[in-house]
Chains A and B, each alone.
Chain A
């Protein structure tokens, strides 16, 4: 099929498109086309120009030079999402749904069905539910968006797009927040759409997914078009290499042998919360302990409960042998145990503020002298953090939201480390960041453990759990169902514990 591609069959094409913001060029003469019934993956590191290209293809941005063709005709796309009327729909990474409205209301938002001038809710619900049935989705049209899981919201967005007769569907990292099971479900829908003739642009950092779902792959690097080839011509490694532009040797850092006799720094016994049942485990000094499991299995809740971000209902927690019933996250911090959230935009960093206030916010009491903030010390901390974690910003005074995802994650890590913890819990350390930065973060984690810090890594990405952890605990439905060490840490075993095919009673 790929061989026949030409301008005659491509639904939407960008020809030698360039884009500059002010006098800063971000895309250099990039060509890209998408055919009916095809999934075309667009990959590249953060900052490679993927978002800009997608916004140009959907009319949210204008080109500086070059042409956009729809069905072969040169066209200037209308701005602000009005290109939807032409069948071009961009699904943003941050989903654009009205949280307090129902599923059906969202699907028909802006073009409500009416009868005698009044909104015809029952007809909208009937049609929405017919669409869900067609896709084999179990979502009630009368459910509120805020009650849905992220995967379900994603599906609603897609159904909404389809219901608008989308011919071109452009999706920005749709699987970033989905579990593997949810991703499978999602891909099933994508294949259906593809079979129905929809042209799909798929952006993802997860290369194995690209391999699985895409027909063609285009790689961008630093705003330049690198290549467009059929997916069969790539291996995972070759994709990663072309994205980064260099060899990715030592993707995972060498693992120091964990000292099995090292002192126990954190121990829980029969910890309970609303959704957790009798959690008992131990963490040793210098250990990297992985927590695997499906999203919603209770991993985040467990550590939020330990750090007093979430309510606890009984059970004992000991830090270095001492009872640790923290009444606030501040007490946990002062005891040397810190939690780094997986949701850096909503819970991790102040996006509208600069880097400095973010860097020192978590450990702010440390930066006071005679009740006043010590701004010189703050500046030193910022410079130290930037150096230590290789945070790259053009301008040290820029706002946090202007940083790329990878640099935000490094800033968050630096912020948490300012508290000089002995135990650090990192929830989804590499969500939504590019391959190069991922590698850096893995090396940081290994270095922290080598310095004697204990690290807990909560992750839904199997390869990283396997690549960096000394020991792995698997959780399912609020319980620890299995423990893996050494060579036993492999994808197969983790999945079996996580999915409930296997369970062991004794652990710790």
Chain B
């Protein structure tokens, strides 16, 4: 009978798949229309580039989070990780001035440290989850606290500031444009494309999906489950490091309030984009749109007096809940006709 029923099931599925695929994009489009109606300046070139640049941090981190979540994990430590990486980067660069001056070398050393720290922090999260056999939620809740307190400690409770001259050298990484697009947007695009290929066109991506769908099946399919899972956290760390590299020149400082709640925004972007929180189904394209949606909401609230800017979190929260509600009704409808 399952065979006979396939037709009907597929019929329902085509429409829901379409909704699933295009839903977030439609929502973003709708937001843009609303933004434009409230204030035509919303669609000005300046605002659009601003919006894209601001989306880049969360977007890049969220691309990494898509892999972790697709493989059935979760990483709560990304916000604190960004903060501690930013802090250490600034300390390293400030201390390199005596040896290497205030030029590009110092900045590159800082960036190199950032990448190493990101990879290392991700590796620790991954190993504790796989070899340590601790729930990812617990592991990253722990490292979240550790990273946050470390940056507070490094900054001695205050703010770590980058040397003024180095800041001058580093500044273009956030503020300059190539071909009309700011540099962070280019990084965002590059990370997105690489992420999309990795998830959809390589064995690694397929293995992430398989592990998130059913770890036992993955194990019995000769997949090195622990190794792949660890790699997702390392990849997440790398993404955090890259986001930090383009974030530091924006303010040139780091403090205990750097990157607060980024983990939630990143996870929200992933979920809004249609990736399933329990794993097994991931969409990079959706994640990117999710990140854009989150930034757009904040941006629109800045543009209008209808809703207080302080309600930004409320709007984001509502969007997340609605997105998941839509996702769930969709899943249960697909799951119910079972013989």
B44 sits at the interface (CB 8 A):
no
How many residues on B have C-beta within 8 angstroms of the other chain's C-beta atoms? 36
B339 sits at the interface (CB 8 A):
yes
Q: Collect the chain A residues with CB atoms within 8 Å of residue B207's CB.
A: 364
Q: Collect the chain A residues with CB atoms within 8 Å of residue B220's CB.
A: 309, 329, 339, 341, 347-348
Residue of B1, B8, B213 near A350 (CB, 8 A) is B213
B18 sits at the interface (CB 8 A):
no
- Report if A21-B216 is in contact (Cβ < 8 Å); known contacts: A52-B1, A361-B221: no
Contact in complex: A24, B7 (CB < 8 Å) = yes
Q: Collect the chain A residues with CB atoms within 8 Å of residue B337's CB.
A: 21
Report the number of A-B residue pairs with Cβ-Cβ less than 8 Å.
129
Contact in complex: A349, B202 (CB < 8 Å) = no
Interface residues of A in 314-363 (CB under 8 A from B): 328-330, 332-333, 339, 341, 346-353, 357, 361-362
Interface residues of B in 191-233 (CB under 8 A from A): 197, 201-203, 206-207, 209-210, 213-214, 216-224
- Report if A347-B206 is in contact (Cβ < 8 Å); known contacts: A362-B222, A402-B2, A402-B5: no
Assembly CA distance A402 to B9 (angstroms): 9
Q: How far is the CB of B43 from chain A (nearest CB, A)?
A: 38
A87 sits at the interface (CB 8 A):
no
Contact in complex: B9, A350 (CB < 8 Å) = no
Contact in complex: A26, B4 (CB < 8 Å) = yes
B273 sits at the interface (CB 8 A):
no
A372 sits at the interface (CB 8 A):
yes
- Report if A348-B217 is in contact (Cβ < 8 Å); known contacts: A328-B222, A361-B210, A397-B10: yes
Assembly CA distance A102 to B319 (angstroms): 40
Nearest to A378 among chain B residues (CB) is: B206
Q: How far is the CB of B31 from chain A (nearest CB, A)?
A: 31
Q: Collect the chain B residues with CB atoms within 8 Å of residue A403's CB.
A: 2-3
Q: How far is the CB of A54 from chain B (nearest CB, A)?
A: 11
Residue of A25, A333, A346 near B216 (CB, 8 A) is A346
Q: Collect the chain A residues with CB atoms within 8 Å of residue B10's CB.
A: 394-395, 397-398
Q: Collect the chain B residues with CB atoms within 8 Å of residue A443's CB.
A: none
Nearest to B211 among chain A residues (CB) is: A350
Nearest to A392 among chain B residues (CB) is: B3
A401 sits at the interface (CB 8 A):
yes
Interface residues of B in 306-339 (CB under 8 A from A): 334, 337-339
Q: Collect the chain B residues with CB atoms within 8 Å of residue A367's CB.
A: 203
Contact in complex: A350, B3 (CB < 8 Å) = no
B280 sits at the interface (CB 8 A):
yes
Assembly CA distance A332 to B219 (angstroms): 13
Most chain B Cβ neighbours within 10 Å, of A26, A333, A367, A415: A26
B6 sits at the interface (CB 8 A):
yes
Assembly CA distance A403 to B1 (angstroms): 9
Q: Collect the chain B residues with CB atoms within 8 Å of residue A415's CB.
A: 221
A365 sits at the interface (CB 8 A):
yes
A248 sits at the interface (CB 8 A):
no
Contact in complex: B217, A347 (CB < 8 Å) = yes
Assembly CA distance A330 to B219 (angstroms): 9
Nearest to B337 among chain A residues (CB) is: A21
Contact in complex: A373, B206 (CB < 8 Å) = yes
How many residues on A have C-beta within 8 angstroms of the other chain's C-beta atoms? 53
B11 sits at the interface (CB 8 A):
yes
Contact in complex: A26, B5 (CB < 8 Å) = yes
Q: Collect the chain B residues with CB atoms within 8 Å of residue A393's CB.
A: 3, 6
Nearest to A341 among chain B residues (CB) is: B220
Q: Collect the chain A residues with CB atoms within 8 Å of residue B214's CB.
A: 346-347, 350-351
Residue of A51, A346, A362, A373 near B221 (CB, 8 A) is A362
Q: Collect the chain A residues with CB atoms within 8 Å of residue B281's CB.
A: 352
Assembly CA distance A397 to B203 (angstroms): 20
Assembly CA distance A470 to B327 (angstroms): 52
Assembly CA distance A368 to B334 (angstroms): 31
A10 sits at the interface (CB 8 A):
no
Q: How far is the CB of B208 from chain A (nearest CB, A)?
A: 12
- Report if A349-B222 is in contact (Cβ < 8 Å); known contacts: A51-B339, A365-B203, A402-B5: no
Interface residues of A in 1-55 (CB under 8 A from B): 21-26, 46-49, 51-52
Q: Collect the chain B residues with CB atoms within 8 Å of residue A404's CB.
A: 1-3, 339
Nearest to A404 among chain B residues (CB) is: B2
Contact in complex: A368, B203 (CB < 8 Å) = yes
Contact in complex: A49, B224 (CB < 8 Å) = no
Q: How far is the CB of B227 from chain A (nearest CB, A)?
A: 9
Contact in complex: A357, B222 (CB < 8 Å) = no
Contact in complex: A21, B222 (CB < 8 Å) = no
A371 sits at the interface (CB 8 A):
yes
Interface residues of B in 34-67 (CB under 8 A from A): none
Q: How far is the CB of B49 from chain A (nearest CB, A)?
A: 33
Q: Collect the chain B residues with CB atoms within 8 Å of residue A26's CB.
A: 1, 4-5
- Report if A329-B339 is in contact (Cβ < 8 Å); known contacts: A346-B214, A372-B202: no
Q: How far is the CB of A225 from chain B (nearest CB, A)?
A: 15
Assembly CA distance A236 to B7 (angstroms): 35
Assembly CA distance A465 to B2 (angstroms): 29
Q: Collect the chain B residues with CB atoms within 8 Å of residue A397's CB.
A: 10
Contact in complex: B9, A398 (CB < 8 Å) = yes
Assembly CA distance A24 to B10 (angstroms): 12
Contact in complex: A357, B206 (CB < 8 Å) = yes
Q: How far is the CB of A164 from chain B (nearest CB, A)?
A: 24
Assembly CA distance A51 to B2 (angstroms): 10
Interface string of A363-398 (1 = CB under 8 A from B): 011011001110000000000000000001111011
A290 sits at the interface (CB 8 A):
no
Assembly CA distance A49 to B1 (angstroms): 6
A223 sits at the interface (CB 8 A):
yes
Assembly CA distance A357 to B203 (angstroms): 11
Q: Collect the chain B residues with CB atoms within 8 Å of residue A357's CB.
A: 206, 209-210
Assembly CA distance A62 to B305 (angstroms): 53
Assembly CA distance A403 to B4 (angstroms): 10
Interface residues of A in 395-432 (CB under 8 A from B): 395, 397-399, 401-404, 407, 415, 419
Q: What are 20 of the A-B contact pairs (CB < 8 Å)?
A: A22-B7, A24-B8, A47-B1, A47-B4, A329-B219, A329-B222, A330-B224, A347-B214, A348-B217, A348-B220, A349-B217, A362-B222, A372-B197, A373-B202, A394-B7, A395-B10, A398-B9, A398-B10, A402-B6, A402-B338
* A-B complex: 3 closest residue pairs judged by Cβ atoms: A394-B6, A22-B8, A329-B222
**Given A361-B210, A394-B6, A419-B222, 4 extra CB contacts under 8 A:** A26-B5, A329-B222, A330-B222, A361-B217
